[in-house]
Structure 1
Amino acid sequence: MEDEAWRSVEVVRNNKGEPHVLQQKVSVYTAGVTEESSGYTKPEMQHRLVPLKSLVELDG
């Protein structure tokens, strides 16, 4: 079974100094019948930048 996910690679700041997370797309291959079975991931060439505040909820 194959699925897709995003792996966070690094935190970077844009030109305004706002933190963003650089993420890389990975293909996820499961080795067993259930979703909890061990498997492996394969990095893909697609990347994206996501604002850190959209991934983390901060108590303020």
Structure 2
Amino acid sequence: MQQPQHNPPALIRVIYTTIRTAREAGLDRHGQEQRAVEALRIVRPDIAERDAMNMVWRVRPD
């Protein structure tokens, strides 16, 4: 059986944790989203910036 290339729940955790930390640091919504995109691109460099932003918008905790 083939192993999955990525673990979506882990990526969602990266987004939640990064946004929460950025919010606690006082960043506005745009800054929080940008930090989450940067974190995703560090964890998964094969994800394009546009795709990372779409992921953040889909799972953003409000």
* TM-score (normalised: structure 1): 0.27
Q: Give the structure with the higher percent helix.
A: 2
* TM-score (normalised: structure 2): 0.26
Q: Give the structure with the higher percent strand.
A: 1
